[in-house]
Amino acid sequence: LASTALLLPSARCLFDQPVQVKVEGLRSRQKGVVFSSSATYRTDGSGKIDLLRDPSLSGSYFGVEPMGLLWSMKAETLHKRFQKSCALHPHVVKFSVHEEDREDRMLAEVTNERPLTGNGVSRVPVKGRNFQGVLFTPPEGPFPAVLDLCTLMCEKRASLLASRGFMVLTVPVYTDHPDNIKQMHLDHFKEAVDFLQQQPKVGSKGVGIMARSKGGDIALSLAAFVSGVKAVVSINGCNAVVSVPLYYQNHQIISPLGSDITKLITTESGASIIKYGLGDPLAEENKYSLVPTEQAKGHFLFVASEDDLNWDSKAYMDQMAERLKHHGKENFETLCYPGAGHLLEPPYGPYCPSSFHRIVHHVVLWGGEARAHAEAEVHLWSKIQEFFRTHLSCDAAQTKAKS
C-alpha cells in the first residue's frame, strides 16, 4: 500500500481556513516528520496519522495542534517576518512525510495552496486626491464597508476580510518613508472613508475601521472627528497620537506623543525591546496627545496583547476604557490575550518573534509565545467579523438608492 498525505476538505483553501492533515498507508507504529517546521508523529495500529487527534511527540511543537505545522514555521535566518503584501499571490505550503532518521526517504507529499482572495472577490487599485489603496469587493451584495488602515501597505487582512463578505478598502498610514513624514492629515483618511461610503455595493449606513499599532490612533481620531464611522477595531494601538502631529482642516488638532530612543533594551539575539521608549500618555505634559474618543458616535473593540513588547498595549487599552467610562460611555468592548505578541494577524500564518521594524530602524522583539499567539489570532479573527456584522447593518434600500 502506497503512503499518501491528505489535506481535508481540500488541498486549496483560503489563507485563514484550517486544514486537516492525514497520512495513510504507513507501517503500524511508524514515526514520520512532517513539513519544514518539523513534528514527529507515531502512526496508529492501521498506519494512519490524523493531526486533529494525534499529538506531536517532538519538533517545533508538542501535543495535539492541527495547524501547528503552519504557525510554528520558522525562517532559516533570524529576525525574518513572513509577509504577503500583495493578495494576488497565494501562500503555497508543501507537506512531506519522512521516516524518522531517514529524511532523505520521502514517503508522501501534498501541496496546500492558500490564496488570500476568495472566489469572485475583485481587487481594484484605487487612487484618490490624497489617498491610495486597494479595494476588495465580494460578488453580489450589499455589503458592510470596512476601511483597513495598515501601517505600511499590506493587502492580506483586507482581502481575507472581503472574502468573508465585506467590502474592504485597505490604505496605508505611511505612503512615504516614515522619516519623511512630519505631520499627518486626518482629511486624507476621511477622503478614503467618503470614497467607501459612495460605493454602490455598500449597504451599511456607516463604515467600520480596522487598524493595528500606529494605525490605531488614526482610527480612533477618525471615529472622534469624522461622521459616518460606526465601528472601530483597534489592535494593540495607543490612546494617544504617536510620533507626528495630527492635522484636520488645516489645523493641528492633536500633538504627538514623543519617544525616547535611549530606553531601548537590547537582547542577546540582537533584537531590541522598544516597549518602554514611548512616553506616558497620561503624563501632564502629554495630555494634548490623547485622542478624545468620547466624541465618537460609533462602537469600539479594543484589543490588547499582554505580552506585546512593542508598546504597553494593555495599559493603553485600559486607559481608553477608563476614559470612556469616565464620560458615561458604554460603546466599547475590550479583548485581552495573555501570551500574545504585537503582530496579531489573520490566523494560520507563521508566528514572528522578531524582525526589522521599518519605522524605528531596529530589529525588535514583538513579544508573545507561539502557541498562545496562534490561538489568539484564531479567536480574534472570528471576533472581528462578528463585531463588524453586529455594528454595520446593511440596508438594501440604501444600496439601490446609490445605484
Residue-wise pLDDT tens digits, 192-248: 999 999 999 999 999 999 999 999 999 999 999 999 999 999 999 999 999 999 999
Q: 347: closest CA among 42, 67, 48, 56?
A: 67
Task: Pick the more confident residue, 1 or 77.
Answer: 77
Annotation marks residue 104 as catalytic:
no
Looking at domain 4-114, its CATH architecture is: Sandwich (2.60)
Is residue 265 within 8 A of residue 273, CB to CB? The reply is yes
* Grid cell for residue 172: 496605508
Annotation marks residue 342 as catalytic:
yes
Annotation marks residue 60 as catalytic:
no
Task: Pick the more confident residue, 8 or 386.
Answer: 386
Residues 161-166, mean pLDDT to the nearest whole number = 97
Which residue out of 188, 342, 362, 391 is catalytically annotated?
A: 342
- Annotation: CATH topology of 122-392: Rossmann fold (3.40.50)
Which residue, chain included where needed, has cell 468620547? 294
DSSP output for 188-200 = HHHHHHHHHHT-T
Domains 4-114 and 122-392 belong to one CATH topology: no
d(CA 111, CA 11): 7
Which residue out of 72, 163, 213, 355 is catalytically annotated?
A: 213
Residue-wise pLDDT tens digits, 76-131: 778 888 877 789 988 888 888 988 877 678 889 899 999 999 999 999 999 999 99
Which residue out of 16, 54, 308, 312 is catalytically annotated?
A: 308
Q: 20: closest CA among 386, 348, 352?
A: 348
Task: List the single range of 147-161, 173-187, 386-400 with lowest mean pLDDT.
Answer: 386-400
Q: Report the mean per-residue pLDDT for the chain.
A: 90
- In one-letter notation, the amino acid at residue 122 is S
d(CA 315, CA 279): 12
Q: What is the residue extent of each domain of the chain? A: 4-114, 122-392
Task: Pick the more confident residue, 22 or 58.
Answer: 58
Asked if the model's pLDDT at residue 301 lies above 50, the reply is yes
- Would you state the pLDDT for residue 397? 41
d(CA 221, CA 223): 5
Its pTM stands at 0.91
Is residue 95 within 8 A of residue 67, CB to CB? The reply is no
**Cross-strand pairs, 146:** 168, 208
d(CA 239, CA 60): 37
* Grid cell for residue 79: 529576525
